[in-house]
Chains A and B, each alone.
Chain A
Amino acid sequence: MATVATCGSGAGSPGSMVAAGSKNNVTSFQRRGPKASGSDSSYSRLVSIPGTRPSVRNGQLLVSTGLPALDQLLGGGLAVGTVLLIEEDKYNIYSSLLFKYFLAEGIINGHTLLVASAKEDPADILQELPAPLLDDNGKKDFDEDMRNIKTSDSNIKMKIAWRYQLLPQMEAGPVSSSRFGHYYDASKKMPQELIEASKWHGFFSPEKSSSTLNIEPCSLTHGYIKLLQFIQNIIYEEGFDGSNPQRKQENILRIGIQNLGSPLWGDDVCCTENCDDSHSLTKFLYVLRGLLRTSLSACIITMPTHLIQNKAIIARVTNLSDTVVGLESFIGSDRETNPLYKDYHGLIHIRQIPRLNNLIYDVSNVKDLAFKLKRKLFTIETDLGYSSI
């Protein structure tokens, strides 16, 4: 069981990275519409990558997070080159589910995956991905559910005050012709052949402890330095940053980092208030974002922010990330018995959405959002009670 499955011969160590990358600036921030002649071909090349679509607002290239309801809240999807930070719920149940949805979406779309974890072996994480709802049987059950929902919905519509009808209802069913964003069945596992057909790289922190370092020790934790080198290596070797003309890559690299900041990475930011390397996590995020901005990749990070005792670090981490979503589950809290929340499993807070290439951004007008996990669906709805079904 290999933890690293790379293809092609890795030519050089990170130290020999060619500096020619600055010439062909592959950034994912392309403008939609007529452009100077040199970039027409690159724009059309980017649009044809499966599983991506340009944003309606500014032509930014987007990938799906694996959860169409969340895509809608984030303005269409996650922008390529950005970081999605998930603030974990207390028992890491729903955040790990979102993490898996993101990876499963990558497998369905044929993207390359990079899974990093300090707790579980990435191969095990991939075995537990939810199965996609692609077959006709699933769709038939789905349509039945949707029809039931729609009829009861139309009855309810008569009773609701007109004002509430103006607020959007999150999409709860599969859009018929979408290749962007799929639905997953949380109770079934992803078929083995799909996992084996996909290309993925795993980084399991305890197994990398004996590798040699090429850079001088700085204030970053050991685990973070190795992870950054690993990511940079993959990006360079597989050509996601466009610096190597022979290895032009027309695919997206989906990076998933689980439980960043937890003590298993060697970082004590969750253990004490005055930690030794208080800048370790923030420096890591900064360099990671630098790597992402110059390559065709998107990253999801789950972080146990409820354990971080120094609130200043949470604020700094939020400022250094692009999109931040917080999950708060009702398990064990007194909200579990609150009649307002009886249909839901938790609240979802959209804490930050980036303004990329723009002065404004798509922000949903509804701020009170709750989620619930049924067998086939992770739905996000407004929690004011009237649209619950």
Chain B
Amino acid sequence: MFPELNNLLNTTPDRAEQGKLTLLCDDNTDGSFLVHHFLSFYLKANCKVCFVALIQSFSHYNIVGQKLGVSLTAARECGQLVFLEGLKSSVDVFFRAQAEPHPLQFLREANTENLQPLYEFVREALKPMDDGETAWRCPVLLVDDLSVLLSLGAGAVAVLDFIHYCRATVCWERKGNIVALVHDSGDTEDEENNILLNGLSHQSHLILRAEGLATGFCKDVHGQLRILWRTPSQPTAQWDRSLTYQYKIQDKSVSFFAKGMSPAVL
């Protein structure tokens, strides 16, 4: 987790909010540093995390997590982390018929109607422990990323349904959080992606949007982060609070500064 981002969001691992949907999106840049931040944040906050990692392998997240101070292997062994490695499981699903329903079963189907097996997996992973010996704080679902599901044959509506079911179970029933990353396609007209992004934007409590700079590549400023706090239940009650910062990613942290105030420029 990045301490500067915690300050901007006004949270600490001790005081993590519950029942929230956080949407991460990136436009013309790579927003995966936000995923690493939230993964390490919730592991440090002693929450039970179900991580649906569709785009990179376990060792990638593990090595970056070690730089940020969490060990994914230890968390997985003690049961705090349930990790679905999409790339590795897809090979198993694709080449061998599975006996029981597999969360990535839709890879084998010609027309994916719904993502129910994936939802069942999430529900099973985050179900509360009956014996109650190690009480984790709250369940968290982390998805990296949802746009890949569109590429794999699921429609935008199927993905929105999946998130809806997950919200009902994780956020409302079990008072947990959901964090999901969606790529914004920008000017390429990816209609399904736009439907997904707009639909999720209206449901989320916090939107973190990483954008590339409008003027192009810069060595010292890697992009711009827009933070938007929303209250979906009362859409017109008050102004949504929004902040914009520019950031530079370093080896083990990310530094944020106000627009135009990069240390390289001053």
Please report A residues at the B interface, Cβ cutoff 8 Å.
14-15, 17, 19, 22, 25, 27, 29, 31, 58, 215-219, 228-229, 232, 279, 282-283, 286-287, 289-291, 293-294, 311-312, 314-316, 319-320, 355-360, 363, 365, 367
Q: Looking at the assembled complex, report how far the CB atom of A86 sits from the nearest CB atom of chain B, in whole angstroms.
A: 20
State whether A232 and B183 are in contact (beta carbons under 8 Å apart), knowing that A218-B110, A314-B188 are contacts in the complex. no
Q: How far is the CA of A293 from the CA of B185 in the complex (A)?
A: 26
Instruction: Give the residues from 97 to 147 in chain B that come closer than 8 angstroms, CB to CB, to chain A.
Output: 97, 107-111, 147
Residue of A nearest to B36 (CB): A359
Residues of B within 8 A of A365 (CB): 219
Q: Which of A293, A312, A316 contacts B191 (CB 8 A)?
A: A312
Residues in A whose Cβ lies below 8 Å from that of B33: 359
B30 near A357: Cβ-Cβ < 8 Å: no
User: Is A287 touching B94 in the complex (CB atoms < 8 A)?
Assistant: yes
Asked if A294 and B91 sit within 8 Å, CB to CB, the answer is yes
In the bound complex, CA of A92 to CA of B196 (Å): 36
Q: Chain A contacts of B168 at CB under 8 A?
A: none
Q: List 21 A-B contacts (CB under 8 A).
A: A25-B59, A27-B59, A31-B63, A215-B95, A217-B110, A219-B153, A229-B95, A283-B151, A286-B90, A290-B94, A294-B87, A311-B190, A315-B185, A316-B147, A316-B150, A319-B148, A355-B30, A357-B59, A357-B64, A359-B252, A365-B219
Is A228 touching B60 in the complex (CB atoms < 8 A)?
no
In the complex, B261 has a CB within 8 A of chain A: no
Interchain CB contact under 8 A, B217 and A283: no
Would A29 and B60 count as touching, CB distance under 8 A? yes
> Which residues of B lie under 8 Å from residue A320 when comparing CB positions?
148, 151
Please determine whether B250 and A359 come into contact, CB atoms closer than 8 angstroms: yes
Residues of B within 8 A of A312 (CB): 185, 188-193
Question: B254, A359: Cβ atoms under 8 Å?
Answer: yes
Using CB atoms, name the residue of chain B closest to A30: B59
Residue B88 at the A interface, CB < 8 A? yes
* Bound-state Cα–Cα, A293 to B90, Å: 11
Bound-state CA distance A20–B89 (Å) is 13
Kindly identify which residue among B88, B153, B191, B192 contacts A283, using a CB–CB cutoff of 8 Å: B153
Whether the pair A228, B94 counts as a contact (CB closer than 8 A) is yes
| Most chain B CB neighbours (cut-off 10 Å) among A229, A290, A315 | A290
Count residues of B near A (Cβ-Cβ below 8 Å): 49
Given contacts A17-B96, A217-B110, contact A283 B152 (CB under 8 A): yes
CA A389 to CA B219, docked complex, whole Å: 28
B residues near A289, Cβ cutoff 8 Å: 87
Q: Is the CB of B185 within 8 A of A232?
A: no
A-B CB proximity, top 5 nearest: A312-B190, A282-B151, A290-B87, A357-B63, A290-B91
B188 touches A218 (CB 8 A): no
Q: For residue A22, which residue of chain B has the nearest CB? A: B88
Residues of B within 8 A of A228 (CB): 94-95
Whether the Cβ atoms of A293 and B183 lie closer than 8 Å is no
| CA distance in complex: A232, B94 (Å) | 11
- Which residues of A are found within 8 Å of B107, using beta-carbon distances? 218, 283, 286-287
Is there an interface contact between B64 and A358, defined as CB atoms closer than 8 Å? yes
Which parts of B164-192 form the interface with A (CB within 8 Å)? 183, 185, 188-192
Q: Verify B108–A290 contact, CB threshold 8 A.
A: no
Q: Are B88 and A319 in contact (CB under 8 A)?
A: no
**Contact yes or no, B219 A319, CB < 8 A:** no
What chain B residues lie within 8 Å of A291 (beta carbons)? Answer: 91
- Inter-chain CA distance A294–B250, complex, in Å, is 28
The answer to whether residues A232 and B188 also contact, given A29-B60, A286-B148, A357-B60 and a CB cut-off of 8 A, is no
Q: Are B153 and A27 interface neighbours, CB within 8 A?
A: no
Tell me how many residue pairs across A and B have CB atoms closer than 8 Å. 123
User: Is B77 on the interface with A (CB-CB < 8 A)?
Assistant: no
CB-defined contacts of B147 to chain A, threshold 8 Å: 316, 319
Question: In this complex, which of A19, A287, A359 has the most chain B Cβ atoms within 10 angstroms of its Cβ?
Answer: A359
Shortest A345–chain B CB gap in Å is: 24
In this complex, which of B55, B87, B110 has the most chain A Cβ atoms within 10 angstroms of its Cβ? B87
CA distance A309 to B108 in the complex (A): 26
Does the CB pair B109–A218 fall under 8 Å?
Answer: yes
Q: Contact check, A282 vs B59: say whether CB atoms are below 8 A apart.
A: no
Closest Cβ neighbor of B63 among chain A residues = A357
Chain A residues in 8 Å Cβ range of B150: 316
A29:B63 contact, CB within 8 angstroms: yes
CB-CB under 8 A for A286 and B254, given A19-B92, A355-B32, A359-B33? no
Decide if A356 touches B250 in the complex (CB within 8 Å).
no
Q: Which residue on A lies nearest to B186, using beta carbons?
A: A315
Complex: chain B residue closest to A281, CB-CB: B151
13 more CB-based (< 8 A) A-B contacts, given A219-B111, A290-B89, A316-B190 = A27-B57, A31-B63, A215-B94, A216-B97, A289-B87, A290-B86, A290-B87, A312-B185, A315-B188, A319-B55, A320-B151, A359-B249, A360-B250
Distance from A85 Cβ to chain B, minimum over Cβ atoms (Å) = 14
Nearest-Cβ distance from residue B142 to partner chain A, whole angstroms:
17
Q: Does B67 contact A (CB under 8 A)?
A: yes
Identity of the chain A residue whose Cβ is nearest the Cβ of B67 in the assembled complex: A359
In contact, B151 and A216 (Cβ under 8 angstroms): no
User: Smallest CB–CB gap between A236 and chain B, Å?
Assistant: 9
| B-chain residues with CB within 8 Å of residue A15 when the two chains form the complex | 95-96
CA of A293 to CA of B89, assembled, Å: 11
Query: How many angstroms between the C-alpha atoms of A27 and B62 in the bound complex?
Result: 13
CB A133 to nearest CB in B, in angstroms, measures: 34
Q: Are B151 and A319 in contact (CB under 8 A)?
A: yes
* A145 CA to B55 CA, complexed, in Å: 46
**Chain B residues whose C-beta falls within 8 Å of the C-beta of A287 in the assembled complex:** 90-91, 94, 107
Q: From A27, which residue of chain B is reached at the shortest CB distance?
A: B59
- CB pair B249–A360 under 8 Å, yes or no, is yes
Choose among B36, B88, B111 the residue that contacts A290 (Cβ–Cβ < 8 A).
B88
Set of chain A residues within 8 Å of B91, measured between Cβ atoms: 232, 287, 290-291, 294
Q: Cβ of B88 and Cβ of A315 under 8 Å apart?
A: no
Contacts A319-B183, A360-B251; is A279 near B153 (CB within 8 Å)?
yes
Q: Which residues of A contact B219 (CB under 8 A)?
A: 365
